[in-house]
């Protein structure tokens, strides 16, 4: 619209007057009794203006404003009876209060007064200079110095930094790492007490004792013998049965059984027994032990039922009546029967009962198994043995018989016993032959270990065997061989 009352033809009035008219129309034509809500009593009255023109007396169009418009264009055929109706209808009861003038024009608000620039703060007064403490660096110059003082707000805009701590502050020195605590010299320790006067070293005493050292040295003969002796002295984890076997006769089975028992007994002192389990007139009883009585395995088997029920010292006392002893008391002997008719009575059950009885009273039982591999007592001893000792001499027939026996044990299901066996080669003559080297290499592949005992002239006659009469070299050889036999059981 153009700003007139009806919007047709009249010039636009100032904004304040037009706003007042619009307020009057919205308030429903209230008169003088309703003062203007926007009028403020404390403001001076506005200048009087001409009242609005009144509408003419009533006509056919009473209550309607005259249409004020531009003349119609002649080129358009307007209907003659058509009258343009005013777009704004004024109520007849509306009267304009002549005393009220138009609202005064809005006065521009005065511009905000610029905030007065804050006064510059006075510069910091210099602090009194303190003499530096001894041992501390001199304080550095302060950051501001005599530079011009700026406003704190300006300093904030340009990156205000607080003043550093005073140089003389110890906390600032600690932060910068320049502080060093005062050190006082440690008191001198008291003089050491005079060393006690020792008596003069006796003549021949070394002037200085060297500290102990651990050095590796190759084992000599003495260390090997000490090791073998230590093995025989250890706990064996229970009674052990050593079976000396070879189907061939004359291969030193009986000699090996007696000397093994004598060697172990000389170290352990007691608890060792040698049993002649030869069903065909064994000679172990003749070559070992003192013949204080003529009792053999036959007598013990006859009274076996009465002996088995005994315990402890009573058992040892009654069993001793059937055993023979070595001259030095190092081992016991259970002699075999000389009569060939008794061999039929040694069945597998009787042999098991005898072995169980001997295990109750002895720690090591050495058994001479005889030559018949088909006999029940031979097979029973093989099944009950903890260690098999294959005896042989450096001869081809003896080695062949021992090799065949190992094959037989594998076929009978005792291959583990054969693989863990110890081959014992006894030298019947002095010196060493090439066949002995071949036998050692061969049986080393079939058994766990191979032991060689040297020749001794005291054994050549075949008489009674006395351990203490053997040569030192022979005793040492048997000591090493016995340790190899019992080493897997030593604890």
Instruction: Give tens-digit pLDDT for 263-321.
Output: 999 999 889 999 998 877 778 888 886 667 888 898 999 999 999 999 999 999 999 99
Residues forming a β-bridge with 365: 241, 273
Return the half-sphere exposure (C-beta side, CA atoms, 13 A cut-off) of residue 41: 1
Coil, strand or helix at 370: coil
22-63 pLDDT, tens digit per residue, is 777 776 555 444 444 444 545 555 555 555 555 555 444 444
Max alpha carbon distance in the chain (Å)?
A: 183
| CB-based contacts of 268, cutoff 8 Å, min separation 6 | 232, 233, 363, 364
To the nearest whole percent, how much of the chain has pLDDT over 90? 40
DSSP secondary-structure letter at 220? -
Residue reference for tokens 């530079």: 147
Coil, strand or helix at 206: coil
Task: Write the secondary structure of 230-268 as one string of H (helix), E (strand) and C (coil).
Answer: HHHHCCCCCCEEEEEECCCCCCCHHHHHHHHHHHHHHHH
184-214 pLDDT, tens digit per residue, is 676 777 777 776 665 565 565 555 555 555 5
Examine the pLDDT at 143 and tell me if it is beyond 80.
no
Q: What is the mean pLDDT of residues 375-392?
A: 95
- What is the rounded CA–CA span in Å between residue 417 and residue 242? 11
Q: What is the pLDDT of residue 101?
A: 55
Residue 73 vs residues 7, 9, 69, 78: alpha-carbon distances, Å: 20, 16, 12, 9
- What is the rounded CA–CA span in Å between residue 95 and residue 98? 9
- What is the rounded CA–CA span in Å between residue 260 and residue 391? 12
Do 357 and 316 form a contact (C-beta atoms < 8 A)? no
The rounded radius of gyration (Å) of the Cα atoms in the chain is: 68
Q: What is the pLDDT of the chain when averaged over all its residues? A: 76
Exposed, middle or buried, 221 (CB in 10 Å: 0-12/13-18/19+)? exposed
Higher-scoring residue by pLDDT: 81, 27: 27
Q: What is the pLDDT of residue 3?
A: 46
For residue 123, name the pLDDT band (cuts at 50, 70, 90): low
Q: Give me the sheet containing 240-245, strands edge to edge.
A: 324-325, 332-334, 272-276, 364-368, 240-245, 387-392, 422-426, 449-453
Q: What is the mean pLDDT of residues 318-347?
A: 83
Q: Phi, psi (5° rounding) for residue 74?
A: -70, -20
Residue reference for tokens 């300093």: 155
469-478 pLDDT, tens digit per residue, is 999 999 999 9
Hey, which bits of 151-287 come out as E strands?
A: 240-245, 272-276
213-252 pLDDT, tens digit per residue, is 555 555 556 789 999 999 999 999 999 999 999 999 889 9
H/E stretch holding 480 reads helix 472-486
- What is the rounded CA–CA span in Å between residue 438 and residue 244? 22
Q: What is the pLDDT of residue 164?
A: 60
Q: Averaging pLDDT over each range in 87-101, 145-159, 354-368, which range is the top one?
A: 354-368
Predicted model pTM: 0.57
Examine the pLDDT at 178 and tell me if it is beyond 60.
no
For residue 480, name the pLDDT band (cuts at 50, 70, 90): very high
- What is the rounded CA–CA span in Å between residue 211 and residue 228? 30
| CB-based contacts of 390, cutoff 8 Å, min separation 6 | 245, 246, 402, 405, 406, 421, 422, 423, 424, 443, 447
Q: What is the mean pLDDT of residues 85-101?
A: 54
Q: What is the pLDDT of residue 190?
A: 77
Return the half-sphere exposure (C-beta side, CA atoms, 13 A cut-off) of residue 132: 10
Q: Phi, psi (5° rounding) for residue 166?
A: -60, 145
């Amino acid at each position: 619209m153009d700003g007139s009352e009806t919007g047709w033809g009249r010039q636009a009035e100032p904004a304040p007057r037009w706003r007042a008219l619009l307020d009057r129309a919205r308030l429903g034509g209230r008169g003088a009794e309703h003062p203007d809500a926007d009028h403020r009593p404390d403001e001076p009255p506005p200048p009087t203006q001409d009242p609005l023109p009144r509408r003419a007396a009533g006509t056919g169009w009473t209550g309607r404003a005259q249409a004020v418009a531009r003349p119609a264009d002649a080129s358009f055929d307007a209907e003659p009876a058509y009258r343009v109706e005013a777009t704004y209808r004024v109520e007849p009861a509306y009267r304009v209060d002549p005393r009220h003038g138009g609202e005064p024009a809005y006065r521009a608000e005065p511009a905000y007064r610029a905030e007065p620039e804050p006064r510059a703060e006075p510069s910091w007064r210099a602090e009194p200079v303190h003499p530096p403490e001894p041992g501390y660096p001199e304080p550095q110059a302060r950051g501001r110095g005599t530079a011009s003082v700026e406003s704190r707000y300006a300093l904030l805009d340009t990156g205000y930094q607080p003043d550093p701590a005073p140089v003389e502050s110890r906390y600032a020195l600690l932060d910068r790492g320049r502080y060093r605590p005062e050190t006082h010299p440690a008191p001198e320790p008291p003089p050491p007490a005079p060393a006690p006067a020792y008596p003069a070293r006796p003549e021949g005493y070394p002037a200085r004792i060297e500290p102990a050292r651990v050095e590796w040295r190759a084992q000599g003969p003495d260390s090997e013998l000490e090791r073998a002796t230590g093995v025989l002295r250890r706990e064996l984890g229970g009674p052990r049965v050593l079976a000396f076997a070879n189907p061939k006769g004359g291969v030193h089975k009986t000699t090996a059984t007696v000397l093994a028992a004598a060697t172990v007994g000389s170290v352990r002192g007691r608890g060792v027994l040698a049993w002649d389990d030869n069903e065909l007139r064994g000679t172990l009883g003749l070559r070992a032990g003192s013949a204080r009585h003529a009792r053999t395995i036959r007598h013990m088997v006859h009274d076996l039922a009465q002996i088995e029920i005994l315990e402890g010292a009573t058992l040892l006392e009654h069993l001793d009546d059937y055993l023979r002893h070595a001259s030095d008391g190092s081992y016991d002997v259970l002699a075999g029967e000389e009569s060939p008719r008794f061999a039929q009575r040694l069945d597998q059950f009787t042999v098991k009962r005898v072995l169980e009885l001997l295990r109750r009273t002895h720690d090591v039982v050495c058994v001479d198994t005889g030559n018949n591999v088909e006999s029940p007592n031979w097979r029973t001893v093989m099944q009950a043995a903890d260690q098999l000792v294959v005896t042989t001499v450096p001869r081809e027939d003896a080695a062949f018989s021992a090799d065949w026996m190992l094959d037989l044990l594998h076929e009978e299901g005792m291959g583990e016993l054969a693989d863990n066996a110890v081959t014992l080669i006894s030298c019947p003559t002095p010196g060493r032959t090439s066949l002995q080297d071949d036998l050692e290499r061969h049986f080393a592949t079939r058994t766990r270990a191979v032991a060689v005992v040297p020749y001794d002239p005291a054994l050549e006659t075949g008489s009674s065997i006395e351990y203490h009469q053997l040569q030192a070299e022979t005793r040492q050889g048997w000591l090493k061989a016995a340790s190899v036999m019992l080493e897997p059981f030593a604890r």
